[in-house]
Structure 1
Amino acid sequence: MAAPQDQIELDLDVVAAEDNDSTTDTQRDIADEFPSAEVIGTDISPTQPSWVPPNLKFQIDDAQLEWTFEPNSFDFIHIRYMQGSIDDWSKLYKQMYKCLKPGGWFQHLEPDIECQSDNSAVKVDNDHIFKQWARLFYDVGDKIGRTFKVNDSIMKQSAQEAGFTSLTHNKFKVPYGTWPKDKDLKDLGQYTGFYLDLSLDGFAVYPIGQILGWSFEEVEDLVAKMRTNVRDPKNMTTGNVHVVYGQKPEEPAKAVSPSAETDTPTVPA
């Protein structure tokens, strides 16, 4: 990322409910990398560990509520895994903007809910479990008004509306599992595959069971089918991860009153 990370003094890390070991590891890594910075991690679930670096603290909070942090107080705000959790993305980004210092940066990471196959011989049609899985979560999002289609268009549009500049979007294709031949991708796939495998049950039980009304047995069967296909090396399972980052301008643009607007240029004498 292009943000001046060596100047970070106060960092906010905002996540929705996810794998808590992964959440804590990320926040701990940030705190370790910037020992002179104060790092605040927020999550809606009270599952943080008791031992953390001295410059890291946690708060139990709902990112959808009005933020209580002081305006212009953070150098860097990172949010991730908010799909299906937010009903007003514009409000979330405006709160980030308000709490960042002028010149501060935000970063937002979201994975696509839909898995794909990197094997051209595998036909991922509408009946494939990867497509079925994604459609179910899209249906959940439509029912509760909190979309699971959190991609660069939502992220960048919300950021632009809030006033952020220097916006950049990166899309990464991430492997799930150890099928890649490249060592670095294999190592990455081992981690991401383990995380996805571990998360499938918890991710599906409430939205598909409670919101869509599936029985526990039906959800179990769905998860088992999804897990089998993700693990199958022939499928070469991948997923896209979107990362958008941008900056709060050093000096907010001043609004021009209608009376001050003119179509006639001012020419110096």
Structure 2
Amino acid sequence: MSHSAEVSFIGENDSEYFRRLYDRKFNTLNPRYLLPADEDEVKRSELHHRMMQFVFQGDNYVGPVKEVLQFVTSNVYSVLDLGTGSGTWAISIADEFPRAEVIGIDLAPLQPRSVPPNCTFELCDIESGIPYPDGYFDFIHARCMHTGISDYPQLLREIARLLRPGGLVLLIEPDLIPIVDGRPVTRAPAGLGGGDWTTFWETYRNCLTRQEVDITVPQKLTDMLTSTGSFENIVKRDGNIPVGFWPKDPHSLSVGQLQWLDYDLFLPALRPMFLFHGLTENQVRSLITGAQRDLYHPVAELSTHINIVHASKRL
């Protein structure tokens, strides 16, 4: 498969790229990925991007991105955004680095048509391989990807193949275990706040496991990168992201508000997945409304844990 114009350009009729499932629109390329591909999901992708910019103190990344790109000897350097979603991150990077060739790939054509001249979007099922030659990219970014990947170590080997020696990878994966009043909770606590919230996440993890997704990937990013034997200078940064309006300092409050807005869209987005895995309409309604109650009227401080790892490909 060549990365030619017909891959990246979608005409007015995009019906072959989408399917309907329980009243939401989904990609047709990979049936394993059961999050919608529609306007609400684009909105959620953009909210998550803004939230991460707050986490990164106004930047689009952490790590030695500028240093790595400055060492590129050719006039043009190449950046790959895996699972680009709404394309917001790729567009921001293309604006920041006008010399960069920025390519965003995704399962569905959700990205805007009007983009910087150095930014391209292509359709690609990452699990089938990424159609670029060895060592093509200088920087690869992958955010919130693992819930659609059945073999994450294979994805890391593919990233290693695509990166030039000395090139940089940045991986960002939130845990799937909610934090209630500062503690990770896997089972709904009896008599404590956040019980419905915890049950919702437990159901989500069970559905992903049935789809052969390794739900422990976020906690294992460092070990997985090490196991490939291809990476060095592995740096992990992690921390808790507040959910909602409880933080006192303005910066954390902004992060919490954006994460709250993200989750407000995320809860109903899982309805098709739950129904697909055999839950009844009543069970799904109860799960979502219960989680919404804990989100809208919290009696506990909710957070999520995020894992951020960057590494260089060995020279």
Structure 2 residue aligned with 1:66: 129
- Superposition pairs for residues 115-126 of structure 1, below 5 Å? 115-118=178-181, 125-126=188-189
TM-score between the two structures when normalised by the length of structure 2: 0.71
Cα distance in 2 for residues equivalent to 1:216 and 1:61: 33
Q: Displacement, 1:95?
A: 0.4
CA distance in 2, matches of 1:169, 1:230: 29
Q: Which amino acid aligns with 2:204?
A: F
Distance 1:219 1:33, change over 3 A: same
Flag the structure with larger Rg: 1
Instruction: Please tell me the residue identity of whatever aligns with 1:224.
Output: T
Question: Is the aligned partner of 1:41 residue 2:104?
Answer: yes
TM-score normalised over the length of structure 1: 0.82
Of 71, 90, 98, the match for 1:27 = 90
Is residue 65–residue 139 contact of structure 2 (8 Å, CA) maintained in 1? no
Amino acid at match of 1:225: G
**Aligned-partner residue type, residue 60 of structure 1:** L
Residue 243 of structure 1 pairs with residue 274 of structure 2: no
Residue from 113, 118, 136 that aligns with 1:50: 113
2:159 aligned partner? 96
- 1:237-268 per-position Cα deviation (integer Å, ceiling 9, x unaligned): 11001111111012xxxxxxxxxxxxxxxxxx
Contact 1:138 1:147 in 2 (8 A): no
In structure 1, C-alpha distance between the alignment counterparts of 2:146 and 2:201, rounded to whole Å? 12
Alpha-carbon offset, residue 92 of structure 1: 0.5
Residue 253 of structure 1 is matched in structure 2 by: none
1:122-179, Cα deviation, whole Å (9 max, x unpaired): 9x844512331222122223222112332232x2232112221111111121011122
CA RMSD in angstroms, aligned pairs only: 2.1
Instruction: Please list the CA deviations of residues 98-126 of structure 1 after superposition, one character each: whole Å capped at 9, or x if unmatched.
Output: 00010001011111122222378x9x844
Partner of 1:5: 66
Distance in 2, Cα, partners of 1:219 & 1:192: 22
My pick for the range that moved more, 220-229 or 68-77, is 220-229
* Partner SS, residue 147 of structure 2: coil
Q: Give 1:215's aligned residue.
A: 280
Which one-letter code corresponds to 2:78 in the other structure?
L
User: For the Cα contact (< 8 Å) 1:179–1:233, is it kept in 2?
Assistant: no
Aligned partner (choices 243, 248, 254) of residue 181 of structure 1: 248
Q: Check 1:92–1:146 CA distance in 2 against 1; reply closer, same or farther (3 A cut).
A: same
Q: Which residues of structure 1 form unaligned runs of 5+?
A: 251-269
1:225 is matched with 290
